[in-house]
Amino acid sequence: MRISVITETAHGACSMCSRTQEVTRFTISTNHGVESTPWHCDRCLSQQGEVSVDIEPPPPPKSGPPSRRVQKASRRNERITADSLGGRTTPGSGNQPGMKGDVRVRGRFRIENKDSYSNQFILKTSILDKIRGECGGGETPAVVVTFMEKMTHRPLDRWAIIPFAQWEEIANAGRDR
């Protein structure tokens, strides 16, 4: 954090003793704002011993809707997933009853796409329950997580999360029993 202190001197009234004379104030600037002390004469400053300023902490980051750029990258990832599996994107990205999930390959998969601009992704059971609850007959629920580069909004890595029973089928498909 960068802190800047500016000392100003002027002719005026001291805020403590109210005498008109040469007075000083300090202005402190940080990344979060600017605060100034009241005007004090040298005598009051030396009696006070110190000057303090309360700097307000920065406001918490605002959470809001994703930017257009993030939305565009998300829609692009949904199309890539749909194209690679021979499916279709769901209108409204699954915001309609009976049409949950972002991608559907009818009779095979119902997929929820998630993007992360961090090096981690927190998976909650509510995401899994939502997609599992909408699967039709024979459809496998899946979550595709795409880790994105922050500046370019380009995919870095993609992972698919499926129920273990389906994973067992895939893993044992070529094995002799």
Same domain as 166, residue 103: yes
Q: Is 151 part of any domain?
A: yes
| Residues 6 or more apart in contact with residue 95 via CB below 8 angstroms | none
Same domain as 143, residue 96: yes
Q: Is 123 part of any domain?
A: yes
Judged against a pLDDT cut of 80, whether residue 99 lies above it is answered with no
Share the mean pLDDT of the chain.
86
Q: Identify the domain containing residue 11 by its residue range.
A: 4-48
Q: Is 13 part of any domain?
A: yes
Closest CA to 148 of 159, 164, 162, 137: 159
Helix (H) or strand (E) holding 30: strand 20-30
Judged against a pLDDT cut of 60, whether residue 175 lies above it is answered with yes
Same domain as 92, residue 151: yes
Judged against a pLDDT cut of 80, whether residue 118 lies above it is answered with yes
- Cα atoms found within 13 Å of the Cα of residue 120, Cβ hemisphere only: 3
Q: Is 62 part of any domain?
A: no
| Residues 6 or more apart in contact with residue 120 via CB below 8 angstroms | none
Judged against a pLDDT cut of 70, whether residue 140 lies above it is answered with yes
CATH code (residue 92): 3.40.1350
What's the pLDDT score for residue 1? Answer: 67
Same domain as 84, residue 130: yes
In whole angstroms, what is the distance from residue 148 CA to residue 175 CA? 35
What's the pLDDT score for residue 176? Answer: 65
Q: Is 166 part of any domain?
A: yes
Q: Is 59 part of any domain?
A: no
Judged against a pLDDT cut of 90, whether residue 80 lies above it is answered with yes
Is 151 strand, coil or helix?
coil
Same domain as 100, residue 31: no
Number of domains observed in the structure of the chain: 2
Percentage of the residues of the chain whose pLDDT score is greater than 70: 94
Same domain as 98, residue 38: no
**Which has more confidence, 175 or 76?**
76
Same domain as 146, residue 100: yes
Same domain as 75, residue 44: no
Instruction: Residue 88: count other Cβ atoms within 10 Å of its Cβ.
Output: 14
What's the pLDDT score for residue 94? Answer: 64
Q: Is 84 part of any domain?
A: yes
Same domain as 115, residue 148: yes
Q: Is 63 part of any domain?
A: no
Judged against a pLDDT cut of 90, whether residue 133 lies above it is answered with no
Same domain as 143, residue 83: yes
What's the pLDDT score for residue 158? Answer: 95
In whole angstroms, what is the distance from residue 150 CA to residue 28 CA? 33
Percentage of the residues of the chain whose pLDDT score is greater than 90: 43
